[in-house]
């Protein structure tokens, strides 16, 4: 019997996992893919083992579904055994259905680059061969250009010493994988965590990007839109009446677009007539830092997030309510979490406010 370390090095461990899952699940008929029945835009990425590519996108606001499957080959409806053996030319991939009003394709690209080794064209981590190669597959010219621009920004960042070799390719047919592969991280959390660690993916990503929760400033330009970066990092102000949330009336909370820390709630939002989102008070006062701002002739009070250190806007003493405050915030500094999605994204403690 081989030592565990040798099994991982040889790439045999994944086949062991899959064999056990076959015995447990048996043969199951897949329902019609959810992304065929819902409205949204599609993004397609290959990043090695699709088990590890699901959670980062599944946890992103604006992502409707994440489906794992196979793409890039010639045969129709390939099986996992055919793909993993290299018989069909397919690679493992994730198809993402997303709402472009809530998450941009550029943001999805930023998530993608942080899950892979873009300097490796022979597979990903312990998974070797064509079926585990990384790639961005585009559905239109806009996605193609955004992907190429994102790849170039990553190259210029200097984060990797070796060349960035992950290709940007036109999307072809996508075939949904077997049932036991879907949401593997939820069905088999212990095995998934062990797999991600000992395949080498987790240690590599921590080394390059830092551990989760640690904000790396060198990464922000790749992850944020130009306006989001200018507002949060360079204290810019977006145009009034031409931003995402100034007249938005959805029920939920607003979090820092950089760190995800809760900042404001829709119940405290009101129309100030200024053209920017305005709130009477913070949802979590401890997540807000106020600083004197002397950039204009009239002194103001700047509002920043505590963990993300993002510039959010300013607070003024001309608001309604008992405290008379108006937190005038840039939409570009915020990410909205609908009340229906609070539990999914880990903010379930705020559901009580909507009962």
Provide the annotated active-site residues: 49, 328
Q: β-strand 168-170 against 134-138: which pairing, if any?
A: parallel
Owner of token pair 């709630």: 265
Write the burial class of residue 159 (CB in 10 Å: 0-12 exposed, 13-18 middle, 19+ buried): middle
Q: How far apart are CA 118 and CA 123, in angstroms?
A: 10
Q: Which of 82, 95, 112 is nearest to 36 (CA)?
A: 95
Residue 134, φ and ψ in degrees, nearest 5 = -90, 150
Question: Residue 52 has which token pair?
Answer: 């590890």
CA distance 14 to 241: 52
Angle ∠(84,137,108) on CA atoms, nearest 5: 105
Q: Round the CA-based radius of gyration of the chain to a whole number and report it.
A: 22
Tell me whether residue 199 is exposed, middle or buried, using C-beta atoms within 10 angstroms of its C-beta: 0 to 12, 13 to 18, 19 or more.
buried
3-class DSSP assignment, residue 98: strand
Q: How many CB atoms lie within 10 A of CB 84?
A: 21
β-bridge mates for residue 128, sequence order: 123
């Amino acid at each position: 019997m081989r030592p565990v370390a040798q099994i991982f090095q040889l790439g045999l461990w994944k086949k062991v996992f899959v064999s056990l899952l076959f015995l447990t699940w048996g043969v199951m008929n897949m329902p019609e893919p959810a992304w065929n029945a819902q409205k949204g835009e599609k993004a397609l990425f290959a990043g090695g083992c699709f088990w590890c590519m699901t959670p980062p996108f599944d946890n992103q606001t604006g992502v409707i579904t994440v489906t794992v499957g196979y793409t890039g080959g010639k045969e129709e409806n390939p099986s996992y055994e055919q793909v993993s053996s290299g018989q069909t030319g397919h690679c493992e991939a994730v198809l993402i259905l997303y709402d472009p009003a809530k998450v941009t394709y550029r943001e999805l690209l930023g998530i993608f680059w942080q899950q892979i080794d873009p300097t490796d064209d022979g597979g990903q981590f312990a998974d070797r061969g064509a079926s585990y190669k990384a790639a961005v597959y585009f559905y239109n010219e806009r996605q193609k250009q955004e992907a190429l621009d994102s790849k170039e920004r990553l190259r210029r960042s200097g984060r990797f010493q070796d060349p960035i070799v992950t290709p940007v390719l036109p999307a072809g047919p996508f075939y949904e994988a077997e049932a036991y592969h879907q949401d593997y991280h939820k069905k088999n959390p212990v095995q998934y965590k062990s797999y991600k660690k000992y395949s080498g993916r987790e240690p590599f990503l921590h080394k390059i990007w830092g551990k989760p929760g640690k904000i790396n400033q060198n990464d922000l330009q790749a992850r944020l839109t130009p306006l989001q970066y200018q507002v949060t990092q360079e204290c810019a102000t977006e145009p009034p009446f031409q931003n995402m949330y100034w007249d938005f009336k959805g029920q939920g909370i607003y979090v820092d677009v950089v760190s995800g820390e809760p900042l404001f709630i829709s119940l405290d939002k009101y129309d100030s007539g200024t053209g920017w989102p305005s709130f009477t008070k913070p949802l979590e006062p401890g997540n807000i830092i106020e600083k004197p701002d002397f950039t204009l002739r009239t002194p103001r009070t700047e509002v920043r997030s505590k963990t993300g250190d993002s510039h959010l806007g300013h607070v003024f003493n001309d608001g309604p309510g008992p405290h008379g405050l108006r937190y005038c915030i840039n939409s570009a500094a915020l990410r909205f979490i609908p009340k229906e999605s609070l539990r999914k994204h880990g903010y379930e403690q705020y559901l009580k406010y909507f009962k």
